[in-house]
Amino acid sequence: MGTYRKESDVLGSVRVPGSAYYGSETQRAVDNFPISGIMVDKGFIHSYVMLKRAAAIANLATGKLDGRTGKAIIRACDELLAGKFLDQFVVDVFQAGAGTSVNMNVNEVLANRAIELLGGRRGDYKRVHPNDHVNMSQSTNDTYHATIHISAHIAIDNELLPALFGLSSALHKKAREFSSIVKVGRTHLQDAVPMTLGQEFSGYAKSVDEVTAALGAASSKLLVIPLGGTAIGTGLNASKAYASRVVVELQKMTKEKFRLAPNNFAAQSSQREELAASDALKEVAVALDKIANDFRILTSGPRAGIHELILPEVQPGSSIMPGKINPSMAEMLNMVCFQVMGANAIIERAADSGQLELNVFMPVITFNLLFSIRILTNAVGAFTKKCVNGVKANKDAIREHLERDLSIVTALSPYVGYARAAQLARIAYKKNKNIKQVAMELKILDGPTLDKILDPKGQV
């Protein structure tokens, strides 16, 4: 068995693993919440540590924190930001409200590392205290909320938006590549008038462009951070200069234009910006889900379906049917989109459930928001690389479908009227002939005129 140390808090003594940098409050959270086995997002921890570093610098600048202690905390932050001690963040994503356990996990790890840097032993909080020093001028209620904004904005702007730009570029490229391929359009899953495959792909590309722009706009709202209000927005225990100095330091570290909320009472008690970001993620998911659905329909077959698209073959599709290949990347994207839509419902419910000066459900908002960003980022990247970049047009199937398309009769309506054109279509369908054959038999127009009117290329 490993060694332990005893730490004390308001509820009594707690046994903490001797090797741990976290302390009693983190250990209580580990003991109380063995719920999912999913730990708090590492990007969130990284952003929280950046905030703690900025807070230490601000407290040094305002004279609240002594130089020796402050510098040790900053050094500890720098080590964590370099990737050390990440295994020390052990709180389950389903935990007590507001995120106090996560805040204290960060405070305790930084305090114990700072203690070591000052020559002390972990748990000797007389040197550096998690609450008195690392958490100085702060509350979970403002810092945790601010960290949601910081981490989500960085993840969206640095990871998800570039992935969506890559998908858009790939779709636009395919739209140009397929611009001369005329095919049957479809509505209600039934044959419709002709279009080009390039036009179809241009629609996909534009949809991605539009939801990407909406997501960027929602992400910009996260630049406003609810910081400096401490417990409920009054700023108790924080100096007037503290919050503005923290923002300056955050801007230096992130290269982002974070700014303080104009009213901490509104900012700290509401999750409007998080909900807006989640709504934008849902909008992205809806657009991507449509594209994935269309890819699966258009590649259906290969013998008994539409099969107008040929997707890259990435893996065998059946454990019993030899040679079967499925649209695996599109299926994956569908499932990720479902997850994001479900996460949006959770965030909406949590955002709606705040009371008075605090929404205690920030941890579940954080988990679902950051998880959605991550899986969308990874799914979009994989779908672009392993599906869109290699998709091909099955020109033989497209030509065969086009030759049998009854909806091209629509072009005859101005010449013979809607009713007569509909009659032609029904006759052609029942006799299993194409529109031109029936029109010639009924002597509707002469051959050259029919060729000109019914030419699919003239209808796109």
- Enzyme catalytic residues: 188, 318
What are the structure tokens assigned to 294, written together? 């269309």
Helix (H, G, I), strand (E, B) or coil at 323: coil
Rounded to an integer, what distance in angstroms lies between the CA atom of residue 271 and that of residue 277? Answer: 10
Pair 362, 99: CB distance under 8 Å: yes
Give CA–CA dist 55/147, Å, rounded.
12
Q: Around Cβ 378, how many Cβ atoms within 10 Å?
A: 15
Determine the Cα–Cα distance for residues 60 and 323; give it in Å rounded to an integer.
67
Radius of gyration of the CA atoms of the chain, in A? 30
What is the total residue count of the chain? 460
For every residue of 391-418, DSSP letters joined together read: -EE-HHHHHHHHHT-SGGGGGGHHHH-H
In degrees and rounded to multiples of 5, residue 354 shows phi and psi of -70, 150
In DSSP notation, 194-219 reads EEEHHHHHHHHHHHHHHHHHHHHHHH
Q: Which residues contact 447 (CB under 8 A, 6 or more apart)?
A: 440
Contact 111, 133 (CB under 8 A): yes
Are the beta carbons of 407 and 193 closer than 8 angstroms? yes
